[in-house]
Amino acid sequence: MSRDPADEIDESLADLSLGGLGPSHPVLSTDEDGVISLDLGTEPRVSTAGDGPSELDRFRKEWQAEVQAKKQGVSVGPVRWKSNEVTKRPVSSAGPSTSPRAQWRAMPPDEDTHKEALKQVASSSKILIQPRVSPIRAKRAEDAVEIYARAVEQEQSGQLNEALLLYRRAFKLNDSVDKLYARSRLKIAQEEDPTPTSMDVVSSMAPREAPYSFQRHLQFAPDYESKQSHRISDSPLTTIFNSRPEASSATFLPSEENLPIPIESLPPELLELVFAHLDVLSLERFGAASWKARWLTARSEVWKSLVKSIYKPPGVIPTTWARGRTQEDILAELSERHAGEWRTVMLEEERIRMDGCYIAVCHYVRPGAGDEWVAVTHTITYHRFLRFYPDGTVISFLTTDHPSDVVPILKPSLRGKGLHFGQWRLVRSDSQTDREALKPGEKAQPKVLINSLLEPSAAPKYEFEMELVLRETARGRWNKLDMQSYRSINLSNGEILGLVLKHQRPFYFSKVRSYHPAL
C-alpha cells in the first residue's frame, strides 16, 4: 500500500526537527512543471545533545538513500525527482516574499506549526502530481474500444456468439471499456451535431411546410346535426358584435405599453390586400388576436372571394338547382340566407372540402394456409382516397400503402393499380329533386355523386360510380362521407353490377397543407 508523499515528508521533517538538524526551517516550493521541492538548508547545526558531525552526516546519507528509493515525483532539498530521473538544481535565494510558503518559512521553529503548515501545502499540491498515462496503456484502451464497437455491430446484426467473444476480449484489455465507448460515441455525436448558433436558428429562407402525418379518425359520438334552418337572421358572431358596440371602434393594443403599433397606421383597404393572400386557417388565427382583428376579418371581402371559388358550376351547384340562374343570382340568394355575412356562408353552407383529401381505412379477414391443428387468419388493411378539385374532377385511389406515403403523391400525374379519375357534383339538401325522393319524416342530406371513374389506361374496360352522403362530426364541418352505393359498368355490354359494401368504412377528411387551393 503506497503512502502519501506529504505524510512521508511530514515524518522526515519531524525527525529532523527533533534531532536539531539545520538552523533554518524546511521550505516547500513548486516550479512551473508542478514539481514539489523541499529545501532543508545546507548549514549544519551542532546538536545540544552532543551528537557529532559524523552522526549528522550518517543521518543525512540514510535519509537521502530513503528518498532516492521513492518513485513519486517529489523533490527534496537540492535533489529533484522527475520521471524517475535525478537532476541537481541550485537552491534559490529569493528575496523577502509575502507568499504563504515564505511566511511559513519565517515562522519560529515549532514542531506543531511545522506539521500543520506542511500538511496544508502538501494537500494543496496534490492536484499538481498527476500520473502520466503510458503509451502502451493508451494503445490498449484504443484497441479495447475498437473491439467493443465491433461487438456492438455483431450484436445488432444478430451474431450473438461472435459478439460475446468480442465483448470478453474488450473487457480483458480494459475493464472500463464500456464507459470509454460511450464517451467516444458522445464525442462523435457532438462533432456531427454541434450546438446551434443564432445563424442556425434564424434563417432568411421561408419556413418549409411540415411533412404530412396521417392521424386516423375514430368517431365515438353521433354525427353532428345543425338545428338551424337555411334562413338565419344573425350569426353568433354578429350577435356578439351587436351586444358590444365598442367592438367596431376598437384599436390594436401593444403587448407592452412602451412599444409602438405599426399595424394601427394601416388603413383597412391595405389590410384587405393582405387578407387576400391568407388561407382560412391563417385568417381565423389573425382574427383571434384582438377585437379589432376580429371585426376586420369578419367584414372582409375575402370571404366573398372564397365563396365564389367554391359555389360555382359544374362542381358544387347542381344543374337542377341552378337552372336558369347565373352565379351572381345564386350567390345573392346564399348571402340573403345569412344576412349578407359571407363568412357565415362559407362556414354553414354545404360544400366539399378541397384543402385535403378524404380517407377510408378498411379491413377484412381472410384464411391463411394452416392444418387441422392450427387455423391461420390474416387481417388485411387497405385505404381508399378521394381528392376533389374545384373544376369538378376527382381522384379515387385504392391501395394497401400507408396514407403518409400516398397523400404527398396523390396528384393527376400519379399512375398505379387501383387509380381512377372521374367527375363529381354535389346535390344539396334543399334540392327539389332530392326532396321529392324523401320519405315522410326523413331529413334531407347533401349527397356527392361521382361518375365516369375510369382507369388512366388507353382502353379501360369498366366504369365505376359512387353515391356518398356528406355529413358533419363534432371535429369539423363537412368532414365525413358515407358511401351508399358503389357499382361498376361494363363498357363492352353496358351491364351494371352493384359492388358489396361489407368491408367499406366512412371517409374522413384529412387536411393537407401542401394542397391548393387552401379552401
Identify the residue whose cell numbers are 388561407.
279
The model's pLDDT over 301-313, given as tens digits with 9 standing for 90+, comes to: 888 888 888 777 6
Longest alpha-carbon distance in the chain: 140
Cα separation, 23 vs 11, in Å, equals 18
CATH no. for residue 310?
Answer: 1.20.1280
Residues 277 and 326 in one domain: yes
Residue 313 φ then ψ, to 5°? -75, 160
474/364 same-domain check: yes
| Spatial separation of the C-alpha atoms in residues 126 and 7, rounded to whole Å | 12
Q: Which of 317, 348, 379 is the last residue of a domain?
A: 348
pLDDT average, residue stretch 113-134: 53
What is the reported pLDDT for 43? 47
Distances 351 to 73, 243, 348, 386 between C-alpha atoms, Å: 88, 31, 9, 15
CA 188 to chain centre: 21
Residue 309 lies inside a defined structural domain of this protein: yes
Most confident by average pLDDT, 178-192, 217-231, 291-305, 394-408: 394-408
Task: Please name the residue that has the C-alpha cell 475498437.
Answer: 146
The pLDDT of residue 515 is above 80: yes
pLDDT for 80 beyond 80: no
Query: Residues 126-136: what's their mean pLDDT?
Result: 57
For residues 381 and 339, state if they share a domain.
no
User: Any idea what the Cα angle at residue 504 is, between residues 434 and 486, rounded to 5°?
Assistant: 45
Which residues does 156 contact at the CB level (< 8 Å), separation at least 6? none
Are 332 and 368 contained in the same domain? no
Same domain? For 367 and 503 the reply is yes
Strand partners, 454: 421
List, as one string, the DSSP characters of 366-423. EE-S--SS---EEEEEEEEEEEE-TTSEEEEEEESS-HHHHGGG-STT---TTEEEEE
C-alpha cell at 125: 499540491
What SS3 state is found at 386? strand
Full domain range(s) for residue 442: 356-511
Over range 393-421, report the average pLDDT: 92
Query: Do 451 and 378 fall into the same domain?
Result: yes
Mean pLDDT in residue range 308-330: 66
* Placement of cell 387455423 in the chain: 375
Which residues neighbour 331 within 8 Å (Cβ) at sequence distance 6 or greater? 304, 307, 308, 311
